[in-house]
Amino acid sequence: MKRMFALALTLALTLSLTACGGTKTETGSNDADPAETSGDDRTTVTKIAVLLPGSITDESWNQTAYEGLMQIEEMGYETAYTENVGSNDMEAVFRNYCEEGYDFVIGHGAQYGDACCRVAEDYPSVNFFITGNAPEDVAAEELPANIMFGDYRECEGAYVCGVVAALMTESGKVGYVGGGNNTTQQSDKNAFIEGVASVDPNVEVKTVITGTFDDSALGKETAIAMMEDGVDVILQTCDHTGLGVLEACSEKGIYCLGYTTDQSTLVSDGLCLTSMLIDIPYMISNQIDLIKAGGYGGQSYPGLHDGVVSMAPFSDQVPAEVAEQVNAVVDQIKSGDLTITPNYSEN
């Protein structure tokens, strides 16, 4: 019940972010206890804003966060969001929300870490959350105390997807299509390669980081190029760009692996073997409880062990013996018998 309450809370967190086309919307009123909302002790949450790297209609990373925030409005929080916040605008958008009195500001992706660090020091009474790892070039003790980095182990799900791909390929060639060139995408790519190699090091892995989360045409073009090279299973982790990958797989009859949500309904004939799920609503909503408890900030490492990362049900195209092998790997990761370490290398 505690998890269900936290999920409802996070889902409410995005209801207020009801603006479209990169604009922001503010709605609702604060129902919090007045005793909680006085002072500058950083245990208050009244106004919540989120920076999104892509579109809220991407059927993936951004849409899931948006839907979560939509639920937060019902809890009485005033919320806002901005879509498609690129590198040139990150710092300005963070600052604007702080100036407008938002006391909890979220950068939805590791790429927001550097800009958030620059801004957070100027607004010590504001709490910040980054859904991703902290900047690698900043020592832990030098990170602003008012930022929490949710260094979720998405790489664990990508590793499992690599196992699935290696067990299901018939051509001996599989592919990975990523989005923006950030640490999370590099980590997913490398973990996918590791997962494939753990089953059969002779399986060839084709990888492309497209550089964008918001170009479905490019995603489709990339996937088709891989298929023409013999790839018969593709993992995509690139949001709206990934929709193009799924479209290509559906049209060409090629297996795929989904991202963030169960994307089986987006592909025909059971071709989506499974999806790597990220419970973004729960992850975000849980931060509110942490803020109210005091001492907010630092780094956390959610993953398969706590359900923030999980795998969607298998397609009926996946044989029972394959599903059994994959589930055994998931159990090993959950128990700690198998550790998947994030690898941010671009090689």
Question: Are both 292 and 325 inside the same structural domain?
Answer: no
* Residue at 218 is within a domain: yes
Question: Are both 194 and 331 inside the same structural domain?
Answer: yes
Question: Are both 187 and 327 inside the same structural domain?
Answer: yes
* Residue at 340 is within a domain: no
What is the per-residue pLDDT for 242? 97
Question: Are both 165 and 138 inside the same structural domain?
Answer: no
Domains of the chain: total: 2
Q: What is the dihedral of CA 98, 102, 104, 109, to 10 degrees?
A: -60
Question: Are both 85 and 118 inside the same structural domain?
Answer: yes
* Residue at 12 is within a domain: yes
What is the per-residue pLDDT for 285? 85
Question: Are both 324 and 203 inside the same structural domain?
Answer: yes
What is the per-residue pLDDT for 40? 53
What is the per-residue pLDDT for 185? 95
Q: What is the pLDDT along the chain (347 residues), one digit of tens a residue?
A: 334 434 443 433 433 333 333 444 443 334 443 333 333 578 989 999 999 999 999 999 999 999 889 878 778 899 999 999 999 999 999 999 999 999 999 999 999 999 999 999 999 999 999 999 999 888 888 999 999 999 999 999 999 999 999 999 999 999 999 999 999 999 999 999 999 999 999 999 999 999 999 999 999 999 999 999 999 999 999 999 999 999 999 999 999 999 999 999 999 999 999 999 999 888 888 899 999 999 999 999 999 999 999 999 999 999 999 999 999 999 999 999 999 999 999 97
Range of the domain at 68: 2-150+280-306
What's the one-letter identity of residue 198? S
* Residue at 18 is within a domain: yes
Q: What is the dihedral of CA 86, 149, 125, 294, to 10 degrees?
A: 160
* Residue at 232 is within a domain: yes
CB atoms within 10 A of CB 46: 18
Angle value at C-alpha 266, between 262 and 268, nearest 5 degrees: 115
What is the per-residue pLDDT for 32? 40
Question: Are both 72 and 209 inside the same structural domain?
Answer: no
Residue spans of beta strands (DSSP E) within 115-231: 127-130, 147-150, 173-178, 204-209
* Residue at 32 is within a domain: yes
Output the CA–CA distances (angstroms, integers) from residue 336 to 27, 149, 156, 339, in the order listed: 43, 22, 11, 6
* Residue at 347 is within a domain: no
What is the per-residue pLDDT for 39? 39
Nearest-angstrom CA–CA distance, 123 and 326: 46
Question: Are both 264 and 298 inside the same structural domain?
Answer: no
Question: Are both 257 and 243 inside the same structural domain?
Answer: yes
Whole-model pTM above 0.75?
yes
Question: Are both 124 and 256 inside the same structural domain?
Answer: no
Angle value at C-alpha 62, between 282 and 214, nearest 5 degrees: 160
Q: What is the dihedral of CA 65, 149, 208, 64, to 10 degrees?
A: -10
* Residue at 246 is within a domain: yes
Say if residue 346 is exposed, middle or buried (CB neighbours under 10 Å; 0-12, 13-18, 19+).
Answer: exposed
3-state SS track over 261-296: CCCHHHCCCCCEEEEEEECHHHHHHHHHHHHHHCCC
Question: Are both 231 and 100 inside the same structural domain?
Answer: no
Question: Are both 274 and 284 inside the same structural domain?
Answer: no
The CATH number that applies at residue 46 is 3.40.50.2300
